[in-house]
Structure 1
Amino acid sequence: MHPVLVLGLMSGTSMDGIDAVLAGFEDGRFKGLRATHHLEYAAPLRARLLQVARSDAALSLRELATLDIAVADRFAEAALGLLATAGIEPGAVSAIGSHGQTVFHDTSAQPWATQQLGDPSRIAARTGIATVADFRRKDVALGGQGAPLVPAFHHALFASGDEARCALNIGGIANVTLLPGTDAARVRGFDTGPGNGLMDEWCERHLGRPYDADGAYAASGRCHEGLLRTLLEDPYFAQPPPKSTGRGYFQLSWVEQRYPMLDTLAPADVQATLAELTVRSIAADILAHAPGTRRVLVCGGGARNGHLMRRLGAALPGCAVQASDDYGLDAGWVEAAAFAWLAVRTLAGLPGNLPGVTGASRLAVLGGVFRP
């Protein structure tokens, strides 16, 4: 098999924009990134996507179709911008792996359902590159939750025979991959609960900023133990894996419903408490399900939050907590790279899910291929 270039596109639960990477592969193995690019959503589109994802917003079929087109166009722009920056012609790229934008993910009741926007046929038509997409629904059709899907890539990239590790992605929602060794059958992964999402919403409400840079706002407050204890009583945290969730569940209205006196607290103290909620829910799951973990490799936006990283280190004594940068891949680009890798798997007719993670009845080739 000759070396190939595959483009990965990802916008996660933070919905801050689209990450685009150009990844090299040889014999199906990830060989690193050749170029990266980030494209923000236009403010009105981001606001509407967040509104849809945070609530059971009523949508006409026309608006749903229009949003699908708008997201696809932005994804295509991100791909073309990456290629222009890298000086690479579209014809040199074997495929695009597009996750799409999740706007609905509900595993609280059967049938489990997940919905991503970003029409892959439109991405393929606009870029001229075959696009692999719709990765989650095959897993759901086989009884899985369709998420998380990145643990298979975490295993390929980060697993070690010398020590037990966890890969921890902190986006809007946090998810953890347990890597006790190099055997893929032993990998487990699940969403632990809130990541940056609640903190981002609170920061936007009180500071007018989309996120808490370096966790400075949270660090300026004090954790309110009563609020934290109330939030941690939510049944999701005690639920055994496999489990997955989304911004439609963990949003500020969830906090306000559980703690009606929220507005009586100092805003900085609420931010500190939301940060601690992320930390303690992650740490509790790692200690409960992978107590032998010696290293936690953090990726996603949370890896750049100094306050969050320090608190995680304190909550996980005996574990080295560090960004994934020193272990083969910059923390900010892991998920986009994962969907390039999943596209390679699909094109090779190889499974992309891990039943031990999602709960699916079997391994499966994920997604579909959409030609230009």
Structure 2
Amino acid sequence: MTGYYIGVISGTSLDAADVVLAHAADGDRPTLEATHNHPPPDALRQRLLQITQTRPPIDIRELGQLDRQVADWMADGVLALLDETGMAPGRIRAIGSHGQTLYHDPQPPHPFTLQIGDPNRLAARTGITTVADFRRADMAAGGQGAPMVCGFHQAMLALPDRQRAVINIGGIANLTCLPAGATLEDPRLTGFDTGPGNALMDAWIARHQGRLQDTDGEWASTGRVHEGLLSVLMADPYIRTAPPKSTGREYFHLGWLDHQLAGMPAIAPADIQRTLLEFTAVSIRDAVAACPGRTDEVLLCGGGARNARLRERLSAMLAPTQVITTDDAGIPADWVEAAAFAWLAMRTLAGLPGNVASVTGASRAVILGGIYAPAVVSRPPSPG
């Protein structure tokens, strides 16, 4: 459906809500018109990180309050983008909102996923129809509910004559294998969450240095890979599980890392940071090797694509396959996921499926998400 769409997502890093304005005029290939990065209030970020990392008890009242607070944070981001661009809300067909994942557990007997950020509130605050709750329709069809971005990768980045692999490195890293000429319905189109992206590195540097991230892997570069720890990390059952599979910070968090370190000789914090970077790189390398056929090109996106040390390790490990960022393919690496949710909103309004069943393990392709119209104050009929 031709028109303007907004995509908004906060990932596992919780550093900001990424907001994009996209224009769809050419089938399934929207173009980015504007972007905005909107940090959350610090108290909200800290509480959400605490919940996703340590899973403390949370009562229903607080859950409802957080649902509203996240919606307001994202609404503020959307309104800031509209203000920066001068775009009137009435020109936007829809917002595609991922929300903030609190917990993702796709395993039997009762698989579920929970994203908060009340779409009713988001629609009311912005005056724009909002599409949200994308993951649960896929889970209702037997899928993992993740990754959700593989269809967008196919629409925007597949080539007729070259096989590509797209690696999104957020808090968690995910892979899309794009065989040459693959369509959305092609069973060769595969993907899965590979394991940690930035989540463990971010959490470790936050604990030891109070910083949000290890920019360009600078701290990691001062340490050395601890081979014993790397072997322990790579032996985790999730890394060895065959796809379809998906995971999140509720699995790979500081408590998980502390458990792996228990009983090992003391390791210098910088060496642990370097080993965590290597863990991300090796798990991605092994995932790319699992793509069917020969991969001609690897495209990186997400915050981890800006980590120079991580890019260097991936380039070395995947050689001679070329490793580039999606910037080189026409989509800024920092905004791929947010753009994907603008695309998913467009698909939903058009009555088209958004999941890729060969990726998530769903029984079929399904239309994703619910549609939330902005609240309208009704007026009584005029007398007479």
Give the equivalent residue in structure 1 for 2:242.
240
Tell whether 2:57 aligns with 1:58: yes
Give the equivalent residue in structure 2 for 1:322.
324
More displaced 10-residue stretch of structure 1: 262-271 or 42-51: 262-271
1:317 and 1:18 mapped to 2: Cα distance? Answer: 34
Does the CA contact (< 8 Å) of 2:171 and 2:199 recur in 1? Answer: yes
Does the CA contact (< 8 Å) of 1:297 and 1:323 recur in 2? Answer: yes
Cα 1:292/1:205, change in 2 over 3 Å: same
TM-score normalised to the size of structure 2?
A: 0.94
Q: CA RMSD in A?
A: 1.2
TM-superposed deviation, 1:58: 1.3
Give the equivalent residue in structure 2 for 1:137.
136
Q: 2:334 aligns with which of 332, 335, 351?
A: 332
Cα 1:262/1:108, change in 2 over 3 Å: farther
1:109 and 1:52 mapped to 2: Cα distance? Answer: 22
Letter in 2 for 1:154: H
Give the equivalent residue in structure 1 for 2:194.
192
Letter in 1 for 2:295: T
Q: Deviations over 1:147-198 (max 9, x none)?
A: 0010000000111112110010000000000001222312101000000000
Give the equivalent residue in structure 2 for 1:26.
25
Does the CA contact (< 8 Å) of 1:28 and 1:344 recur in 2? Answer: no
Does the CA contact (< 8 Å) of 1:23 and 1:30 recur in 2? Answer: no
Q: Secondary structure at 1:310's aligned position in 2?
A: helix
2:264 and 2:322 mapped to 1: Cα distance? Answer: 34
1:268 and 1:158 mapped to 2: Cα distance? Answer: 37
1:195 and 1:108 mapped to 2: Cα distance? Answer: 21
Unaligned stretches of 5+ residues in structure 2: 375-384
Does the CA contact (< 8 Å) of 2:161 and 2:181 recur in 1? Answer: no
Q: Deviations over 1:43-62 (max 9, x none)?
A: 11011111111233211100
- Which protein has the larger Cα radius of gyration, Structure 1 or Structure 2? 2
Q: 2:288 aligns with which of 274, 278, 286?
A: 286
More displaced 10-residue stretch of structure 1: 51-60 or 230-239: 51-60
Tell whether 2:180 aligns with 1:181: yes
Letter in 1 for 2:308: G
Letter in 2 for 1:194: P
TM-superposed deviation, 1:326: 1.2
TM-superposed deviation, 1:202: 0.6
Does the CA contact (< 8 Å) of 2:54 and 2:255 recur in 1? Answer: no
Q: Secondary structure at 1:289's aligned position in 2?
A: coil
Alignment of 1:134-213 (within 5 A): 134-184=133-183, 185=186, 186-213=188-215
2:121 and 2:96 mapped to 1: Cα distance? Answer: 13
Does the CA contact (< 8 Å) of 2:216 and 2:306 recur in 1? Answer: yes
Does the CA contact (< 8 Å) of 2:106 and 2:145 recur in 1? Answer: no
Letter in 2 for 1:55: T
1:29 and 1:165 mapped to 2: Cα distance? Answer: 19
Give the equivalent residue in structure 1 for 2:113.
114
More displaced 10-residue stretch of structure 1: 25-34 or 87-96: 25-34
Q: What stretches of structure 1 move > 4 A for 4+ residues in a row?
A: none
- How many correspondences in the alignment? 371
Unaligned stretches of 5+ residues in structure 1: none
TM-superposed deviation, 1:7: 0.6
TM-superposed deviation, 1:288: 2.5
Q: Secondary structure at 2:311's aligned position in 1?
A: helix
Give the equivalent residue in structure 1 for 2:311.
309
2:66 and 2:124 mapped to 1: Cα distance? Answer: 17
Give the equivalent residue in structure 2 for 1:216.
218
1:125 and 1:348 mapped to 2: Cα distance? Answer: 22
Letter in 2 for 1:53: T
TM-score normalised to the size of structure 1?
A: 0.97
TM-superposed deviation, 1:259: 2.0
2:155 and 2:96 mapped to 1: Cα distance? Answer: 17
